[in-house]
Structures are given as C-alpha cells and as structure tokens.
Amino acid sequence: MKVINHKDNFEQTLRKFKNKVNDSNLLQEVRERQTYEKPTTKRKVAKARAKSRWKKYLASQELPTKLY
C-alpha cells in the first residue's frame, strides 16, 4: 500500500495509512493466520457471538421496569 506524503505532514500521512490498512482488513487477516483454529471451534464461537447479540437485542426491546 502506498500513501503519498504532501508537505512533509507525517501525522496526517500516518493517519491515512492506518485508515487504508483498516479498510482492507489486512490486520484482521494476519491475526487469523497466526494460530490455527479448528472449524468446530470457529462454529462454536460464532454461535456464541450470535447468541449474545440476540440477547442484547432482546434486552434492548424489553420495556423498562416501573420505578415508582
């Protein structure tokens, strides 16, 4: 990846580079490749995350308790 540096503004150039790396999901791919995760473990973790998202959604839809 390349980022062109204009007017020797290093901070701005570094910010642009970080944004490009985040947009390309390059760091996430590197982290995933560092260790091997069995497919069954991947499915189990994904299912647990889905459950927690669903519980969070249900909690947000619930009416608040009456405080009187």
For 4-58, what is each residue's pLDDT tens digit? 887 888 898 999 999 998 999 888 889 889 999 999 999 999 999 999 999 999 9
So what's the pLDDT on residue 60? 92
Contacts of 20 (CB under 8 A, 6+ apart): 1, 3
CB contact at 8 A, 20 and 3 = yes
11 vs 14: CA distance, rounded Å: 5
11 vs 68: CA distance, rounded Å: 54
